Structure 1
Amino acid sequence: MNSLRKFVSSVKVLAVTLVLLLSFFSSAAMADEATCIVRGPITIENGSFDYSKTRDVNEFTVRSAIVSLPVGESGTIDSIKITGPDGKPELGCPTVKDVKNGTDLIPACGGPVVLKTGETIYAAKGSDFGPNGNIKSFKITLCDDFS
């Protein structure tokens, strides 16, 4: 009887340990990478750009919008507007000055936003980019994590 109690006690400890391990290492916590949508490359000529792209998207929560520019380049995002399949704006962003490589635009745009499934229009305008003013590798990466 004494060995049965030890066995049952060991099984209980093992079960509790297993539950804790599963809760700490759930599949959501172990996701490999964030899902991202890259807008670009966008060509900046004479310090400005005007970009528009229509694309079908699945429902997607944008938690970060990271700017990719060559080192030393900076400028102003005059506007970003993402229009959903129902024709209503899903994201509108005011002027963001001193944008450079690594800038996250989401805080300036009012925080995370959910894009609805369907045909979505992404439009952006920018100005005062320099010192070069002619850039072929400008990108904005929209991700579902807080990069």
Structure 2
Amino acid sequence: SSLGQGPVLATPVQITAMINTIANEGIYKPPRLVQEIKPEGKGALRFFKPGPYRQVISPEVARPMKKLFEAAVKAGVGQQAYLSGYGSAGKTGSAQTGEQTAVVHAWFSGYAPRQKPKYVITVLAEGGKSGGETAAPVFREIMTALLKE
């Protein structure tokens, strides 16, 4: 499935890659997808190997975008994604299904820690109320658990 309004469509993985590129000063780092998860003691996690990194947006363009993502979490509709002690940044959104129904999906995509991003997560809440109210708290819960490890 994809996210979008009208002719603009993007999958959650594409949104994650976009946020990750901005978080990394315009350097595109292909997402790493988990191939399999084995129970503890039954073998290591395996990941698909990521492709090469490349500069796709200048740092001069990426930095103001980062500031906007930080503002969305600090004082905007993404406040429920804020991570105390780490800081976070991101973007809320909504996506229509393209069907005749009025179903709208809520999403939040962001990164943390704010200063030196380590993780990027996109949460898509099908039929969610809004990205800030539905998806941002889920982002905060997942990211908090990741950063405590």
Q: TM-score of the superposition, structure 1-length normalised?
A: 0.28
- Compare the two structures and name the one with the higher strand fraction: 1
- Compare the two structures and name the one with the higher helix fraction: 2
Structure index of larger Rg: 1
